[in-house]
Chain A
């Protein structure tokens, strides 16, 4: 069974600072995908970043980057130069067959002006 754990229910960061959100997962599969999704108060889930497990290089998207440690089954998200618009719930998700996501319980991030 695939499980995803986000151990930080809530986090806060000062505007312009850097914050790291943690995610661990458990799987026996070797080929899979990992994602971070953002869900602002308006509700729509928005893809932040995606990582293929077979790629050793960590994915980056502008101010967002991941630290993917396959052996440790860890997939953390770093947000640099935090902005007020980054305030949202962040979900870590795992997919291996393309049929469904397995989501964590989320981390509520608040960016403080």
Chain B
């Protein structure tokens, strides 16, 4: 296992389009997290899954954002009707309970 994988690495989209990002966690990890990081800031929590259940969502996750983790494996994060303010790095992380937190390299989204 090579760690947490995120795809794509970069995404440029026009305002109003929908985008979807994928995260493949470390296979034995039961927890999966999404964070958003804007320039000059630390990552901010978006949402958290334990297995396939989405247990917590941040206020940052507006109704244009949806995340899924079918079968408790990979996860997708979809942003509908993208806005310029959605431009950021989207980071995925996984862990086994409270240990082994590992981050992916992120997906950089640019909305033009």
Which A residues are closer than 8 A to B by beta carbons? 4, 33, 35, 37, 42-47, 91, 93, 95, 98-106
Contact A99 B105 (CB under 8 A): no
Contact A101 B97 (CB under 8 A): no
Contact A42 B105 (CB under 8 A): yes
- Interface SS, B side: strand
Which B residues are closer than 8 A to A by beta carbons? 31, 33, 35, 40-45, 48, 55-56, 58, 89, 91, 93, 95, 97-98, 101-106
Contact A103 B103 (CB under 8 A): no
Contact A43 B89 (CB under 8 A): yes
Extra inter-chain contacts (20) besides given A91-B42, A100-B56, A105-B41, CB under 8 Å: A35-B101, A42-B105, A44-B105, A45-B91, A47-B101, A93-B42, A95-B98, A98-B31, A98-B95, A99-B56, A100-B33, A100-B45, A100-B48, A100-B58, A101-B43, A102-B45, A103-B42, A103-B43, A106-B40, A106-B42
Q: How far is it, in angstroms, between the C-alpha of A104 and the C-alpha of B37 when the chains are bound? A: 11
Contact A44 B103 (CB under 8 A): yes
Q: Which of B43, B48, B103 contacts A99 (CB 8 A)?
A: B48
Contact B55 A44 (CB under 8 A): no
Which of A35, A95, A98: most chain B CB closer than 10 A?
A: A98
Q: How far is it, in angstroms, between the C-alpha of A74 and the C-alpha of B102 when the chains are bound? A: 24
* Nearest-CB residue, chain A, relative to B89: A43
Across-interface contacts of B95 in A (CB, < 8 A): 98
**Smallest beta-carbon distance B64→chain A, Å:** 21
